[in-house]
Amino acid sequence: MNFDPAIAALQALHRAEEHGEFGEFQQEVSDAEESFSSDAGPGAKQAYETLQQLGEQLPQARAFQEFLIYITWQQVTEETLPKHFHKGVELCDRFLTRFGRELEGSEAHQHIVNIRCSFQGGLGEHEETVPEHDEDAFEGGD
């Protein structure tokens, strides 16, 4: 990856706040993110899980979904377990399916594609492209 996921996470979180993506969950997101950022161990792990649960309730919150991908990479660095790599690939695929077309060519799109490859690499999968999301996938067909 040629970017820092921790910095990208903060930028995505700020964009989500600016766009009002959290709605009624604003305080919960804020509390969980604060705990995730300042805690270590079980507190951070619980905050990560809370943020992921909130993400399930906010599937159209694009910047927040991007944030969740980046913090999953941070979780991988804290706890290098296959479940986190799988979760990262799942989040990336969901993000690219929902938002890939509108973001194609953007820095955010490139970051998500790159981090997806890193998650795959952690699982021993070394796929160079994202088949269902590469540029040709949206053109023509049979």
Q: Is residue 142 domain-resident? A: no
Q: Is residue 139 domain-resident? A: no
Q: Is residue 134 domain-resident? A: no
Q: Is residue 53 domain-resident? A: yes
pLDDT of 119-136, one tens digit each?
999 999 875 545 454 444
Q: Is residue 124 domain-resident? A: yes
pLDDT for the residue numbered 130:
52
pLDDT for the residue numbered 132:
53
pLDDT for the residue numbered 126:
72
Count of domains for the chain: 1
Structural domain span for residue 19: 5-129
Q: Is residue 80 domain-resident? A: yes
User: What token pair was written down for 13?
Assistant: 């979180």
Distance CA 83, CA 89 (A): 10
pTM of the model: 0.87
Listed as ranges, residues in the chain with pLDDT below 70 are 127-142
pLDDT for the residue numbered 125:
85
Residues 33-62 as b/e (b if ≥16 CB within 10 A, e otherwise) read bebbeeeeeeebbebbebbbebbeebeebb
User: 125: domain CATH number?
Assistant: 1.25.40
Q: Is residue 135 domain-resident? A: no
Q: Is residue 136 domain-resident? A: no
